[in-house]
């Protein structure tokens, strides 16, 4: 937040609030920019099937409109927040950037791989340069959705009970937000291909049950845990996500926090920022 406040005060930055689907506003917002960091999205994988058009509009179409606005402004560099969800239920784990072409299991993943496709096509067609980052789930400050949020808000209301989607044995990799940002910086500084695709994640994974243990110990509560059952939390939930990250590590980057530390940092953040709930 401090960085943002400072940035907004400095003449180097301008703050414009607008909709990516509003092309005139977007074109104006991009005037004078040299590179776009494209993070905006509908990032809600779980409820995708409740509104089938949303992922397409907010992720694929918004990205296409952004690329067009960039082209009109002569901006050719884009860093894009994609997702490990594009791998669906990968056949190879840990999953590398060049794994066999994946079959999609969520509307979110499908919309992000489509957006990646348009970005690559603009690199070929209009000489753009792109850094595409496929993140695992991100933890840490300003966290506003995901399992830690769900568990923390439940335990705040009733520390004696916790409802868990699936059977708790889902294996997931997570990454601390500060490490995610530093990986993006390293990749952009050191990777100079036309299209640069990187998995961003931790070297390992945990089970949902591990995370429950860390969260309840941190909060000093001992709830009765009720599992919904099944190996997936929802349609499109990948029961095992673990990305191969040797490509970004070969550039000298490695995460500073473990998954456990990232989960604990997130709970600490939510405790200090209950307004976010």
Ligand X SMILES: NC(=O)c1ccc[n+]([C@@H]2O[C@H](COP(=O)([O-])OP(=O)(O)OC[C@H]3O[C@@H](n4cnc5c(N)ncnc54)[C@H](O)[C@@H]3O)[C@@H](O)[C@H]2O)c1
Nearer to ligand X, 69 or 223 (CB): 69
In whole angstroms, how close is the CB of 40 to ligand X at the nearest point? 3
Question: CA 194, CA 200: separation in Å to the nearest integer?
Answer: 19
Around 19, how many Cα atoms within 13 Å sit in the side-chain half-sphere? 5
Nearer to ligand X, 43 or 223 (CB): 43
Q: Please, what is the angle between helix 259-272 and helix 208-219, to 10°?
A: 50
Question: CA 230, CA 233: separation in Å to the nearest integer?
Answer: 7
In whole angstroms, how close is the CB of 135 to ligand X at the nearest point? 4
Peptide bond into 78 cis (omega under 30): no
Phi-psi map region of 264: left, alpha, beta (phi>0 left; psi -120 to 50 alpha): alpha
> Residue 218: helix, strand or coil by DSSP?
helix
Name which of 141, 44, 134 is nearest 96 in CA terms: 134
In whole angstroms, how close is the CB of 160 to ligand X at the nearest point? 29
User: Are 186 and 221 in contact, with CB atoms under 8 Å apart?
Assistant: no
In whole angstroms, how close is the CB of 38 to ligand X at the nearest point? 7
Nearer to ligand X, 83 or 105 (CB): 83
Give the footprint of ligand X on this chain (CB under 6 A): 19-21, 39-43, 58, 62, 81, 83, 135, 137-138, 144
Tell me which residue has its CB nearest to ligand X: 41
User: Which residue is it, tokens 């941190």?
Assistant: 218
Nearer to ligand X, 66 or 223 (CB): 66
In whole angstroms, how close is the CB of 194 to ligand X at the nearest point? 22
Nearer to ligand X, 83 or 238 (CB): 83
User: Are 20 and 26 in contact, with CB atoms under 8 Å apart?
Assistant: yes
In whole angstroms, how close is the CB of 42 to ligand X at the nearest point? 6
Nearer to ligand X, 43 or 263 (CB): 43
């Amino acid at each position: 937040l401090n960085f943002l406040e400072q940035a907004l005060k400095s003449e180097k930055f301008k703050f414009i609030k607008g909709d990516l689907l509003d092309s005139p506003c977007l074109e104006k917002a991009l005037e004078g920019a040299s590179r776009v960091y494209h993070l905006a999205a509908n990032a809600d994988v779980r409820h995708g099937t409740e509104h089938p058009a949303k992922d397409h509009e907010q992720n694929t179409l918004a990205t296409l409109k952004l690329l067009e606005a960039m082209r009109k402004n002569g901006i050719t560099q884009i860093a894009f927040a994609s997702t490990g969800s594009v791998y669906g239920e990968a056949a190879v784990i840990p999953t590398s950037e060049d794994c066999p072409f994946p079959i999609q299991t969520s509307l979110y993943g499908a919309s992000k791989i489509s957006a990646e496709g348009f970005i690559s096509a603009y690199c070929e067609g209009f000489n753009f340069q792109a850094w595409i980052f496929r993140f695992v789930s991100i933890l840490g400050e300003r966290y506003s959705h995901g399992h830690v949020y769900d568990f923390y808000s439940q335990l705040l209301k009733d520390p004696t009970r916790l409802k868990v989607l699936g059977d708790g044995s889902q294996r997931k990799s997570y990454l601390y937000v500060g490490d995610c940002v530093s990986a993006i910086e390293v990749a952009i500084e050191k990777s100079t291909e036309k299209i640069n695709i990187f998995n961003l994640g931790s070297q390992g994974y945990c089970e949902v049950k591990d995370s429950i243990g860390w969260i309840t110990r941190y909060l000093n509560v001992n709830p009765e845990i009720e599992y919904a059952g099944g190996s997936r939390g929802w349609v499109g939930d990948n029961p095992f996500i673990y990305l191969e990250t040797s490509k970004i590590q070969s550039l000298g980057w490695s995460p500073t926090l473990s998954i456990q530390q990232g989960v604990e940092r997130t709970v600490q953040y939510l405790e200090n920022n209950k307004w976010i709930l």
